[in-house]
């Protein structure tokens, strides 16, 4: 016999708009900090973590959360259990992590570096954007951390990579290939979209936005010749005249490899298989070995399946 929780879970999936949120935090080596963040996430059983990806070399973790959103146009109200869950996790991250003592092989400009919202199931991009702006207000105005908005959450649809370039996100500041501490002005040259223009060095900046679904895929190149791998990464990317809707970044990963981290902005146009083949082709011309790449998150269908199971189990 079906339990009341199972019935409720099925009703949510059938009747509600479902939103996915990817929360990127600049930490993966401090177990106690991650445990505190994960404890903070358990305040509402209808907003759940469906996946976690942490990388020690990058010193970065991504939590993928799923919940529903209700948007009442006539009343001008957007509600989602995810909003309070995210605020709880963000507060825990700020309490446990100091950006000034952080270092890693992945760029970052804040403890809570990036929060991205994507519509699933019956949700629209506007639903995701409305929730993104509410969370931006919670962090920017409530916690007094500068927030820059991007894509559907930005008034002019400004792209994430454009904002990051303006903020110096892609420039390593430590030992040539690492990011360490806070290396930006405390008074921002450009006014953030939400929150103060003054940066607390321990917390940094947060970038928040909403976009259609994006696949993240990493390709290991077995070489420590970072300039060469960076050149390959650029040749593969749309910006470098390569594959359309593909953004890339070459990052040191361990003692013997450099990863090309990729954002596939439209996986239906250019998917992981085509990207993998292109990297292998160009790397072969340089005499470099390429390993099979990997997705850093689960599929949309799997997210919905896990969400249903987790809500059913309470």
Q: How many Å apart are CA 228 and CA 223, to the nearest integer?
A: 9
Q: Is 138 helix (H, G, I), strand (E, B) or coil?
A: helix
Question: Could you give phi then psi for residue 24, rounded to 5 degrees?
Answer: -100, 125
Which candidate in 71, 102, 106, 114 is catalytic? 106
Residue with tokens 């996946």: 51
Residue 258 β-bridge partners = 221, 252
Residue with tokens 């990817």: 22
- Which residues, in sequence order, are CB contacts of 58 under 8 Å at separation 6+? 28, 104, 105, 106, 251, 253
Q: Is 254 helix (H, G, I), strand (E, B) or coil?
A: coil
Q: Is 182 helix (H, G, I), strand (E, B) or coil?
A: coil
Separation of CA 219 from chain center: 18
Q: How many Å apart are CA 291 and CA 187, to the nearest integer?
A: 43
Residue 174 β-bridge partners = 178
Buried b (16+ CB within 10 A) or exposed e, 206-224: bbbbbbeebbbbbbbbebe
Q: How many Å apart are CA 161 and CA 110, to the nearest integer?
A: 16
Residue 23 β-bridge partners = 63, 115
Q: Where are the alpha helices (DSSP H) in the chain?
A: 4-15, 31-40, 81-96, 125-137, 160-166, 226-236, 272-285, 300-313
Residue 174 annotated among the catalytic residues of the structure: no
Active-site residue set: 106
């Amino acid at each position: 016999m079906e339990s009341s929780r199972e019935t409720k879970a099925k009703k949510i999936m059938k009747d509600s708009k479902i939103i996915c949120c990817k929360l990127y935090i600049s930490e993966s080596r401090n177990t106690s900090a991650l445990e505190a963040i994960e404890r903070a996430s358990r305040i509402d059983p209808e907003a759940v973590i469906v996946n976690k990806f942490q990388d020690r070399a990058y010193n970065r973790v991504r939590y993928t959360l799923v919940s529903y959103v209700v948007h009442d146009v006539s009343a001008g109200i957007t509600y989602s259990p995810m909003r309070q869950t995210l605020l709880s996790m963000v507060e825990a991250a700020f309490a446990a992590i100091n950006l000034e003592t952080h270092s890693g092989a992945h760029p970052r400009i804040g403890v809570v570096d990036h929060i991205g919202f994507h519509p699933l199931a019956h949700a629209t991009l506007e639903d995701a954007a409305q929730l993104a702006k509410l969370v931006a207000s919670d962090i920017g105005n409530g916690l007094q951390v500068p927030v820059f908005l991007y894509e559907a959450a930005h008034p002019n649809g400004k792209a994430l990579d454009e904002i990051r370039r303006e903020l110096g996100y892609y420039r390593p500041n430590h030992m040539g290939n690492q990011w360490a501490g806070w290396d930006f002005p405390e008074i921002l040259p450009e006014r953030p979209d939400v929150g103060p223009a003054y940066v607390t060095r321990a917390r940094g900046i947060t970038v928040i936005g909403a976009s259609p679904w994006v696949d993240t895929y990493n390709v290991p190149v077995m070489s420590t010749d970072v300039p060469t791998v960076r050149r390959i990464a650029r040749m593969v990317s749309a910006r470098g005249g390569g594959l359309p809707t593909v953004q890339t970044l070459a990052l040191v990963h361990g003692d013997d490899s450099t990863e090309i981290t990729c954002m596939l902005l439209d996986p239906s146009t250019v998917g992981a298989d085509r990207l993998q083949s292109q990297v292998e082709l160009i790397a072969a011309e340089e005499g470099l070995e390429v390993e099979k790449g990997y997705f850093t998150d689960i599929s949309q269908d799997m997210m919905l399946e896990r969400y249903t199971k987790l809500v059913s189990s309470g």
